[in-house]
Amino acid sequence: MNILGIETSCDETAVAMVKDGKKILSNLIASQDMVHQRFGGIVPELASRVHTEIIDSLFLKALRKSKITIREINLIAVTAFPGLKGSLLIGNTFARSLAFANHIPLIEVDHLQAHLAANFLHPPQPLPQEIKFPAIGLVVSGGHTNLFYLENRAKIRPLGETLDDAAGEVFDKVARVLNLEYPGGPALERAAEKGNPSAIKFPRAYLGKKSLDFSFSGVKTSVIYYVKRYGLNNIPDIAAGFQKAMIEVLVEKVRRALRFKKVKTVLLGGGVVSNKVLRQEMRKLALAEGINLFIPSPILCTDNAAMVASLGYYLYQKNLS
């Protein structure tokens, strides 16, 4: 089964072709970083305009790269929510028109859940060993920080979410306060590599002993006050201290979810999961707790349409059964 995935929820226009929910035949991502860079953040109106300009040619390129004709597409999966309204509209209108004109079934996909489906794909990552469900899923992206319980690949329910800022959003904001380049997350990780993570202790919000929700506005404010008071002479240490505070909370929440749900598998996803220190700390947790951990290749952590196609495939199978 050939599944076409379409993703336009934010500032990446992405089109992918995936075979049977697993094998990536093409995975094209047109980043708009250059467009939004000079504004220091995403401008929604500009994002939708760029999606409109390139989605058509990206789709044709994906067909060529996959050596597939429109007639050979068996299913179209499109990100329906959450995201920027105008941006989502472009991908959805394109997907619907294509489906309608060519009599191809269409399935709507939740972007957050799709981030977890990045673990089902190959290449560039090897095909994972059998993933044993149930599992805990953690999605850490620019707009969201969510914990999920996965009964199987297609039955996913929420366990916790951020009560204020998303982790990626805070990485971006702190990077801006530290005068680092856009996009902030990767720049902050690079700055932190030269710093001492224990030099400055920023607060961690655990929200009591049982909560599976997140709160990151406190650590963000704390960095802003630190910079107001002491200035920017010590960027690597500030970056490293901030990164450590963020990661410790993320790891602790996964540890809790594993204990509460008595689950042996963890799937990660979302742009922030490309952070090397986060990956390393999650691996340590997996070793200590004796669980199977799945982390997508960095290119599949950030927004892409292959993950949308994969989740679409499993949802479609579930609907058929």
b/e per residue 74-113 (b: at least 16 CB within 10 A): bbbbbbbeebbebbbebbbebbeebbeeeebebbbbbbbb
5 sits near ligand KG4 (criterion: CB under 6 A): no
What is the closest distance, in whole angstroms, from the C-beta atom of residue 144 to ligand KG4 in the complex?
7
Residue pair 282/252 in contact by the 8 Å Cβ criterion: no
162 makes contact with ligand KG4 (CB under 6 A) = no
| 172 binds ligand KG4 per the rule CB under 6 A | yes
Q: Any contact of residue 303 with ligand KG4 (CB under 6 A)? A: yes
Q: Shortest approach of ligand KG4 to residue 89 CB, angstroms? A: 17
Pick 21 or 271: Cβ nearer ligand KG4: 271
Binding partner at 274 among Zn ion, ligand KG4, none, C-beta below 5 to 8 Å by kind? ligand KG4
The one-letter amino acid at 303: D
Q: To the nearest whole angstrom, how small is the minimum distance from the Cβ of residue 182 to Zn ion?
A: 17
Is residue 312 part of the contact set for ligand KG4 (CB under 6 A)?
A: no
Q: Does residue 90 interact with ligand KG4 by CB under 6 A?
A: no
What's the one-letter identity of residue 297?
A: S
Give yes or no for a contact between 190 and 277, defined as CB atoms under 8 angstroms apart.
no
What single letter denotes the amino acid at residue 151? E
User: Out of ligand KG4, Zn ion, none, which partner does residue 91 contact, by CB within 5 to 8 A per kind?
Assistant: none
Site for ligand KG4 in 107-126 (CB under 6 A): none
Which of 271, 285, 307, 313 lies at the binding interface for ligand KG4 (CB under 6 A)? 271
What residues contact 30, with CB distance under 8 A and at least 6 apart? 12, 13, 14, 50, 54, 58
Nearer to ligand KG4, 135 or 166 (CB): 166
Binding-site size for ligand KG4 (CB under 6 A) equals: 19
Residue 183 binds ligand KG4 (CB under 6 A):
yes
Angle at 76 (CA atoms; ends 70, 78), nearest 5 degrees: 135
User: Torsion angle of alpha carbons 260, 266, 271, 275, nearest 10°?
Assistant: 100
Give 14's contacts (C-beta < 8 A, 6+ positions apart).
Answer: 5, 6, 7, 8, 27, 28, 29, 30, 58, 303, 304, 305, 308
Q: Applying CB under 6 A, does 189 fall inside the site for ligand KG4? A: yes
- Cα separation, 118 vs 268, whole angstroms: 9
Instruction: List, as one string, the DSSP characters of 148-166.
Output: EEESSSS-EEEEEEBSS--
| 186 contributes a contact to ligand KG4 by CB under 6 A | yes
185 binds ligand KG4 (CB under 6 A): yes
Answer with the entry of Zn ion, ligand KG4, none that 183 interacts with (C-beta below 5 to 8 A by kind).
ligand KG4
DSSP alpha helix (H) spans, 162-305: 167-177, 184-193, 217-230, 235-261, 276-289, 298-301
Cβ distance to Zn ion smaller for residue 172 or 303: 303
Q: Is 275 in the site for ligand KG4 (CB under 6 A)?
A: yes
- Which of these segments, 16-24, 120-128, 220-228, 269-277, binds ligand KG4 (CB under 6 A)? 269-277
Rule CB under 6 A: say whether 137 interacts with ligand KG4.
Answer: no
Q: Smallest gap, in angstroms, from Cβ of residue 146 to ligand KG4? A: 11
Kindly list the residues in this chain that would bind ligand KG4 in the complex (CB under 6 A): 10, 141-143, 168, 171-172, 183-186, 189, 270-272, 274-275, 302-303
